[in-house]
Structure 1
């Protein structure tokens, strides 16, 4: 038997094994639409399709990383339960629809509806950075930042100064940035912050195939954007720490973002999200006493934090949006830079429109993708 015949036989047998294996495995771990796409690719091009699936097909986290996530949820449970009891006892006056929607969010993200909050909506990068710098300058115990893109440029330089100043005053400063989204910062400017006393860590360092508790796929990124100061003030939204023309100067594009500045009990929920991510990446739990003060009521806003991502198996964000669409009575406004709806979301939009709900969908005229 020649080498050519042996190679051909190996190829044919291996492709049969690949097709049978993926036909049994993929439909059990993906939605029908996603499974059909992967199976079509693998049946047409068995080896290339299989290798692509091995590298990018599964969003499941490595076992060690999933175990850290579960351990962090358990560690936070006692504190969460206490806050939950305080807040649940006062949620009886909320509308039934909101209570039902909040119950879904609580089941998906382990965090209840909070009352007694206040917020400001910030739509300009300059205002966002100025207010964040001001709050960091007045920080007394902790400053926790979590960002996808963190870059030092002319606009963001004052934030770096504020962080250095806070760390030198003895404030515990922690900065967690995505390993790819902030790779320029990690190479150029992280050392100076570390020298000033700021703890800097990278989230989800990429690895193509064999992954560990602290590595991930190249396309699996931490896109969260949040800042929590003293457990009393929080920022979250779509602003990254970067000039808003970042990456778009050549095409004349400008990013338009919104951020909420929050005070009240909801701040502790965002602190919990940061603490979980920090623990998963570093194995360290920041001081509970400093990070989680007793919640203070500052207003009347009703807000709930619902984290999502591969650590949460129920597609939290999509389920909440679909549930909200089904519960809508008068008007729905959706603003998003990227819209790739699946059948479930399309059906929910159609159903709402047929029921007489006014729908407004705001998307870019020209996308960057």
Structure 2
């Protein structure tokens, strides 16, 4: 028997084994459409399909990260109970339909609707950086920042300056950034902040095949944008910390984002989301005394936080959107830079249109 004969025999036998094994394995872990796509790829190219499935097949984070996340959620239960007490002490009235969505969101994310909040919408990147700088300049206890893209440029330089000043005067400054979204910053611009005392941590550093508590798939990213100052003032939305023309300056384009500045009980919920991600990445449980403060409940805003992502097994945000589409009666407006709908979302959109709802994308 020649070496070539042995190789082709091994290839043929192993290819059949791969096809048979994956025929049993994949349908148990994916919806029918996704499973059919993977099975077709593996049937045509068994070894290449197996390799690609090993890299991109699972949307779940490594088990170690999930365990950390669940442990932190349990430890935050006292704070979550206080959120609920705050909500019950500040009664509000919602339409039955909205209240139903609030109940669904609470079941998905374990965070209740809160009232007594004050909120302001910021639709300009320069104004967002200016307001955030002002809050950091007044910080006395803590500055917690979580961003997908964090970069040093002419727009964000004042933010770097304020972070340095805050850290040098003894404020706890924690910066959590996505390992790929902020890779330029992590490679070139962390030294000035860490030298001043700012703690910089990478979120979801990528791993190719072997994924552990400290690594994740290349396409599983942390896209959150959260800032919490002294546990009392929060920001969340779609602004990254970067000049808004990034990626499109040559064509005269820029990103148009929105951010909410928040005060009131809802800030504790944003802080809880930050604490979850910080603990998953570092294994460090931050001080409750430094992280939470007694909220000002004088505002009129009713707000609820719904965290989502691969740490949550129920696809929180998509489930809420699909439920809202099915309940829609007149018009739905969806504004997003990325729209890759799966079968469930497409069916919900089609059903709404067939029911006479005007859909604007």
Q: TM-score, normalised by structure 1?
A: 0.95
1:7 counterpart = 2:7: yes
Shift of 1:154: 0.6
Q: Partners in 1 of 2:104 and 2:54 — Cα distance?
A: 33
The answer for the alignment partner of 1:365 in structure 2 is none
The answer for the alignment partner of 2:47 in structure 1 is 47
Q: Compared with structure 1, are the counterparts of its residues 53 and 91 closer, same or farther at alpha carbon in structure 2 (3 Å cutoff)?
A: farther
1:18 counterpart = 2:26: no
Shift of 1:329: 2.7
Shift of 1:352: 2.2
The answer for the alignment partner of 1:220 in structure 2 is 220
The answer for the alignment partner of 2:202 in structure 1 is 202
Q: Partners in 2 of 1:190 and 1:117 — Cα distance?
A: 34
- Partner SS state of residue 205, structure 2: coil
The answer for the alignment partner of 2:70 in structure 1 is 70
Q: How many equivalent residue pairs?
A: 361
Q: Partners in 2 of 1:253 and 1:13 — Cα distance?
A: 53
CA deviations 1:332-365 (Å, max 9, x no partner) are: 211011112222212222222333333221xxxx
Q: Partners in 2 of 1:221 and 1:83 — Cα distance?
A: 28
Shift of 1:90: 4.8
Shift of 1:73: 0.5
Q: Partners in 1 of 2:344 and 2:89 — Cα distance?
A: 35
The answer for the alignment partner of 2:161 in structure 1 is 161
1:254 counterpart = 2:234: no
Are the counterparts in 2 of residues 105 and 320 from structure 1 also a CA contact under 8 Å?
yes
Q: Partners in 2 of 1:356 and 1:55 — Cα distance?
A: 42
Shift of 1:91: 5.2
Q: Partners in 1 of 2:18 and 2:253 — Cα distance?
A: 44
Are the counterparts in 1 of residues 116 and 301 from structure 2 also a CA contact under 8 Å?
yes
The answer for the alignment partner of 2:135 in structure 1 is 135
Structure 1: give runs of 5+ residues left out of the alignment.
362-369
Q: TM-score, normalised by structure 2?
A: 0.97
- Partner SS state of residue 245, structure 2: coil
The answer for the alignment partner of 1:333 in structure 2 is 333
Q: Compared with structure 1, are the counterparts of its residues 99 and 172 closer, same or farther at alpha carbon in structure 2 (3 Å cutoff)?
A: same
The answer for the alignment partner of 1:316 in structure 2 is 316
Q: Partners in 1 of 2:111 and 2:59 — Cα distance?
A: 23
- Partner SS state of residue 335, structure 1: coil
The answer for the alignment partner of 1:269 in structure 2 is 269
Q: Partners in 1 of 2:170 and 2:92 — Cα distance?
A: 42
- Partner SS state of residue 261, structure 1: strand
The answer for the alignment partner of 2:107 in structure 1 is 107
Q: Partners in 1 of 2:44 and 2:88 — Cα distance?
A: 54
Q: Compared with structure 1, are the counterparts of its residues 289 and 59 closer, same or farther at alpha carbon in structure 2 (3 Å cutoff)?
A: same
Q: Partners in 1 of 2:311 and 2:178 — Cα distance?
A: 16
The answer for the alignment partner of 1:281 in structure 2 is 281
Q: Partners in 2 of 1:160 and 1:81 — Cα distance?
A: 36
Q: Partners in 2 of 1:51 and 1:162 — Cα distance?
A: 46
Q: Partners in 2 of 1:110 and 1:215 — Cα distance?
A: 26
CA deviations 1:181-205 (Å, max 9, x no partner) are: 1111111111110110111111111
The answer for the alignment partner of 2:191 in structure 1 is 191
